[in-house]
Chains A and B, each alone.
Chain A
Amino acid sequence: MGNHSDGTPTSSDAVAKAGHDEVDKFQDPGLAPHRLRLADTDPKAAKRAERQVAWLFIISIAGTLLFFVAYFGIRLDDTFGTLRLQNTFLGLGVAFAMLGIGTGIVHWARALMPDHEVAEERHELRTEEDRLAALKIVDDIIDETGIKRRPLIRNTLIGAVALAPLPAIAIFRDLGPLPGDSLRHTLWKEGERLARDPDGTPIKASDVTIGSAFHVIPESLNSLEHGKLNAKAKAVVLLMRLDPQDLNPSEGREDWSYNGIVAYSKICTHVGCPVALYEQQTHHLLCPCHQSTFDLTQECKVIFGPAVRPLPQLPITVDADGYLVAQSDFHEPVGPSFWERG
């Protein structure tokens, strides 16, 4: 324990001579008088601190051992109980292993390592010499490369640098085809049956009693081989039945519903969360992400929240067998606004 600092400030005199001669407004008080720590004066306290640091490191060792005891010692059966027990002890073991090392080193540095204060003088921000030196380097480069005297080299270099980024365009094109008009179309088409999510069984109009809410996918979705999730993400629909008197269809949309059964896109027009929180008494649809609220009795007009467009309605009717079918695709793009949509 002989390498303690005696606490003498080693370089405080550099700051003590305060500023310029002519300014006398503010005297640099210099460093506060150094206060010795207990461990600096009392060998017993130093010994105690040493033991404390060692104990913290031992706690770290115990933590690592605890991790391995839990990892190998706890037999996982099929229940969550053993998994939870193991997770708890794995976490505690790693926590103590890390905390022990960290707190040990900090305690060591605070209590035992030299604690002399050091002040560093601030440098001048920019000197004229540095600026001139930098200018000279630029001039030297222009002069020594001879780029002004050799236009052939200069022009070919410009050509090379201009062409070199072009491969990047080819590479980034490979990230995928442009979306094209895929954002404007979904799987729905005339005659496409409305089916239950997830099993894909078609829905009869008589199945939909008043107050019901069905989560709907196009019947052909489950037979898709590729891009099923993307297709589903655009095509999901919520089907609800209200008293027909509660619906107030605007002109041209009177025949989009069937006996009070309406179908609306489930994709929020704000940022695309599924709007499926249907309140069957108030006829409100709530988006759980940002609380946009749509009123089913006003063709899903936004009555609260950040969304600005109503949910797109899917025109539906029934086919000869009594199953609900779409009359067409949605008449507008589903989901959030995008650049080209305008």
Chain B
Amino acid sequence: MKALSQKRRHPLAALALLVMGLMLTGGLYAVVTTVNEAKADTTTYSAHEVEEGEKLFIANCATCHGLGASGTDAGPSLAGVGAAAVDFQVGTGRMPMQMQGPQAREKPKQFTTEQTREMAAYVATLGDGPALPAEEYIDGEGDAAAGGELFRVNCAMCHNAAAAGGALTRGKFAPSLAGVSNSHVYSAMVTGPQNMPVFNDANITPEGKRDIITFLNTIENQGNPGGAKLGSLGPVSEGLFLWTAVLGVIIGFTIWLTSRTS
């Protein structure tokens, strides 16, 4: 350590610091992307699954959503929300909610895939609603360019042009779409969870949704051609980086320029 502190006035110290800073920033943002997993589904449920789902529902959900899912002051009725809504809300850990708040946050999921499916089976019996997406629409093999255009028109204003998420009013926000499974992206579009509007099949066709999913997979997997993307949040993070890191380097240089040589 002492050797290091003696070297701190070395003429090359500023240069070395600059290089270290550049490397560190670049390294921090080179985050490895996770691979989306697609999920198999058949939309027919056995009577046993519905029965098990009802038990799980009464034990875990009825406090807020009411017995028979008819809704209470604390939670809406679930008649007609469909299996897709259950798969999204429970499968991403948003439900059961930890507490009332502006928005149910994503958290580690509380139920196994099987239990989620059973609850979806039960809720699907309460009324017609969006079913789980068919395998052919969540394979991510659509037209990424067409999906990009649909995404920019319909999704980018809230979820950011690079799907990095963004703020809404009064503590709510549109989450980042990185790492969200294809089937959950599809379910979110057809059910409109929380404050997200519904994008039904008349608005964006199933093929269009498949293209959007393909676009999301593409931008997630191909990386960023420009190097450090600073969260893809636009002027906020880029401005912060310029004001702190880059201005810091400039100030360092001016101090060096005007300091006395030993």
Residue pair A282, B12 in contact (C-beta under 8 Å): no
Smallest CB gap from A303: residue in B: B169
B169→A293 contact, CB < 8 A:
yes
The A interface, classified by DSSP as helix, strand, loop or mixed, is mixed
Q: Which chain B residue lies CB-closest to A82? A: B225
0/1 per residue, A49-80, Cβ < 8 Å to B? 10010001001000000000000000000011
Contact B15 A37 (CB under 8 A): no
Query: Once the chains bind, are B194 and A281 in contact (CB under 8 Å)?
Result: yes
Q: Are A103 and B195 in contact (CB under 8 A)?
A: no
A209 and B157 in contact, given A103-B15, A111-B261, A293-B169 (Cβ under 8 angstroms): no
Q: Which of B39-47, B48-56, B199-207 sits within the interface? A: B199-207
Complex interface residues of chain A between 186 and 206 (CB less than 8 A to chain B): 196-198, 203-204, 206
Chain A positions within 8 Å of B203 at CB level: 196, 207-208, 212, 214
Give A103 to B13 CA distance when docked, in angstroms.
11
Chain A residues with Cβ under 8 A from B256's Cβ?
106
**Which of A5-13, A133-141, A272-280 lies at the interface with chain B?**
A272-280
Interface status of B257 (Cβ within 8 A of chain A): yes
In the assembled complex, the Cα of A12 lies from the Cα of B249 at a distance in Å of 35
Cα of A210 to Cα of B22 in the assembled complex, Å:
50
User: Interface code A236-277, partner B: CB below 8 Å = 1, 0 otherwise?
Assistant: 000010000000000000000000000000000000001011
Interface residues on chain A, size class: 35 or more
> Please, which residues of chain B bring their CB within 8 A of the CB of A146?
none
- Does any Cβ of A come within 8 Å of B66's Cβ? no
Q: How does the 8 Å CB contact mask read for B8-24 relative to A, with 1 for contact and 0 for none? A: 00011011001000100
Contacts of B197 in A (CB 8 A): 211-213, 240, 278, 280
Contacts of A284 in B (CB 8 A): 169
Chain B CB within 8 A of A47 CB? no
Q: Which residues of B contact A196 (CB under 8 A)?
A: 203
Residues on A with beta carbons closer than 8 Å to the beta carbon of B240: none
CB distance from A258 to the nearest CB of B (A): 16
Is B58 part of the contact surface with A, judged by Cβ < 8 Å? no
User: A207–B202 contact, CB under 8 A?
Assistant: yes
Checking A95, A103, A286 against B169 with a beta-carbon cut-off of 8 angstroms, the contacting residue is A286
Bound-state Cα–Cα, A106 to B261, Å: 11
Q: Given the known inter-chain contacts A80-B224, A84-B224, A197-B153, please indicate yes or no for A280 contacting B195, CB distance below 8 A.
A: yes
A207 touches B200 (CB 8 A): yes
Q: Is the interface of B mostly helix, strand, loop or mixed?
A: loop
Is A211's CB under 8 angstroms from B192's CB?
A: yes
On chain A, the residues within 8 Å of B178 by CB distance are: none
Do A83 and B225 touch (CB < 8 A)? yes
Please tell me if B158 contacts chain A, counting CB pairs below 8 Å.
yes
Decide yes or no whether B164 CB sits under 8 A from chain A: no
Decide yes or no whether A99 CB sits under 8 A from chain B.
Answer: yes
Max count, chain A CB within 10 A of own CB: residue among B168, B200, B223, B227: B168
Q: Which residues of A contact B (CB under 8 A)?
A: 35, 37-39, 49, 52, 56, 59, 79-81, 83-84, 87-88, 91-92, 95, 99, 103, 106-107, 110-111, 115, 196-198, 203-204, 206-215, 240, 274, 276-282, 284, 286, 288, 291, 293, 304
The 30 listed contacts between A and B (C-beta, < 8 Å) are A37-B262, A38-B261, A38-B262, A39-B261, A52-B12, A59-B15, A79-B222, A80-B225, A81-B223, A83-B225, A84-B223, A84-B225, A88-B227, A92-B22, A106-B256, A107-B11, A197-B153, A198-B149, A198-B153, A206-B202, A209-B198, A209-B200, A212-B192, A240-B197, A277-B166, A279-B169, A279-B195, A280-B195, A281-B194, A284-B169
